[in-house]
């Protein structure tokens, strides 16, 4: 059964004309700058949806005070939600362009695209947004950033998200990819509504990962706990005391787990930094290490050998 990616508390009772879909132009982990310019987004692994600016800040009919809304699209923010994928960052030596969009540092992944499609389907259902290409005659719907100028005549300074898809290079052009995106959203809406009413789907205020893909090799059936049934009785603890070896093994395992979690958190923080900041940190650590090594080599600690008293 499908599960909601976006909690109900993230979708207030407001009016919207539609959604503009972007990429961040950065790495696969959205930073604070990204979350100040979009309402929702998906990181590279595609494991869930994060929230940036509350959606009500861009509600249709609301004034947009500077700094108090998501400025995701040039001259198209009031009444429009901004959804983004964290990807398509590049370097000066390997820039992301329409001719170089696959072998770059942070290409779009299919996993985050698929998660984004599911989330957009939920949003379109919630706000009754027609999954259509917006036009000047009917400026409602879902469109990529690259389509805005073509669809509504609003200049976007050459933005090209999306005129290329890293994971599907045979598709080219804003309109072709926009139509492909909308078709996938329609299919996802049909899947959601074909199961049961959207309001009855389970939801949680935590980020929920997308459904696991179905593999050809079938897993063994595992009985899942039914929340309608009482909890099973807690088994009595074993009276056999733990051996010294098992205690030490438990301490070692807990220590390794804690260190691994800390290293993962540090790694995630480092990945969120701009490349120039990361390079500055590495250079600083190298300089400090060199100074310490030089001090130890130039001023070694004297070795004192105590003689036995006669």
The pLDDT of residue 257 is 58
pTM value?
Answer: 0.63
Rounded CA-CA distance 168/144 in Å is 16
The pLDDT of residue 96 is 80
SS3 call for 82: strand
Residue with the larger pLDDT of the pair 254 and 21: 21
Q: What is the mean pLDDT of residues 184-195?
A: 92
Question: Does residue 240 register a pLDDT over 60?
Answer: no
Residue with the larger pLDDT of the pair 26 and 102: 26
Label residue 200 by pLDDT band (50, 70, 90): very low
User: Hunting for tokens 């909890």 — which residue is that?
Assistant: 231
Question: Does residue 14 register a pLDDT over 60?
Answer: yes
Question: Does residue 6 register a pLDDT over 80?
Answer: yes
DSSP state of 40: E
Tell me: the pLDDT tens digits for 89-122? Answer: 987 777 788 877 887 889 999 999 999 999 999 9
Label residue 237 by pLDDT band (50, 70, 90): very low
The pLDDT of residue 252 is 57
Tell me: the pLDDT tens digits for 164-187? Answer: 999 999 999 999 999 999 999 999
Least confident of 47-61, 88-102, 218-232: 218-232
The pLDDT of residue 104 is 87
SS3 call for 204: coil
With beta carbons less than 8 A apart as the criterion, state whether 90 and 78 touch.
Answer: no
How would you class 149 by CB atoms within 10 Å of its CB: exposed for 0-12, middle for 13-18, buried for 19 or more?
middle
Label residue 36 by pLDDT band (50, 70, 90): very high
Domain residue extents for the chain: 8-200, 245-298
The pLDDT of residue 307 is 43
Given 3.40.720.10, 3.40.80.10, 3.30.920.30, 1.10.3720.10, which CATH number is that of 8-200? 3.40.80.10
The pLDDT of residue 23 is 97
CA 99 distance to own-chain centroid = 25
Q: Which is nearest to 140 in space by CA: 150, 151, 149?
A: 151
In the structure encoding, which two tokens stand for residue 146, read together? 């690259």
Label residue 244 by pLDDT band (50, 70, 90): low
SS3 call for 30: coil
Q: What is the mean pLDDT of residues 18-43?
A: 97
The pLDDT of residue 277 is 73
Residue with the larger pLDDT of the pair 54 and 242: 54
Tell me: the pLDDT tens digits for 136-150? Answer: 999 999 999 999 999
Least confident of 169-183, 204-218, 274-288: 204-218
Q: What is the mean pLDDT of residues 222-231?
A: 32
Residue with the larger pLDDT of the pair 260 and 298: 298
Least confident of 50-54, 80-84, 264-268, 298-302: 298-302
Label residue 12 by pLDDT band (50, 70, 90): very high
Rounded CA-CA distance 30/50 in Å is 9
């Amino acid at each position: 059964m499908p599960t909601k990616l976006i909690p109900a508390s993230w979708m207030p009772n407001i009016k919207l004309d539609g959604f503009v879909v972007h990429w961040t132009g950065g790495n696969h982990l959205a930073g604070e700058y990204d979350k100040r310019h979009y309402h929702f987004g998906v990181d590279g692994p595609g494991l869930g949806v994060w929230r940036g600016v509350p959606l009500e800040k861009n509600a249709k009919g609301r004034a947009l005070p500077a700094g108090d809304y998501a400025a995701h699209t040039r001259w198209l923010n009031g009444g429009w939600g901004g959804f983004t994928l964290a990807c398509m960052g590049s370097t000066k030596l390997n820039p992301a362009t329409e001719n170089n969009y696959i072998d770059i540092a942070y290409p779009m992944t299919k996993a985050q695209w698929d998660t984004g499609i599911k989330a957009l389907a939920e949003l379109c259902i919630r706000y009754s947004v027609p999954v259509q290409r917006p036009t000047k005659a009917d400026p409602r719907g879902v469109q990529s950033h690259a389509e805005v100028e073509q669809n509504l005549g609003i200049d976007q300074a050459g933005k090209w998200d999306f005129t290329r898809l890293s994971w599907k290079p045979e598709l080219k052009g804003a309109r072709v990819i926009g139509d492909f995106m909308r078709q996938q959203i329609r299919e996802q809406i049909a899947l959601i509504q074909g199961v049961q009413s959207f309001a009855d789907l389970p939801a949680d205020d935590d980020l929920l990962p997308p459904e696991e893909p179905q593999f050809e090799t079938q897993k063994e059936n595992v009985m899942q706990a039914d929340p309608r049934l009482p909890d099973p009785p807690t088994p009595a603890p074993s009276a056999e005391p733990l051996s010294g070896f098992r205690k030490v093994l438990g301490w070692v395992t807990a220590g390794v787990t804690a260190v691994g979690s800390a290293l993962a958190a540090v790694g995630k923080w480092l990945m969120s930094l701009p490349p120039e900041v990361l390079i500055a940190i590495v250079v600083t650590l190298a300089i400090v290490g060199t100074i310490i090594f030089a001090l130890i080599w130039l001023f070694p600690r004297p070795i004192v050998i105590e003689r036995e008293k006669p």
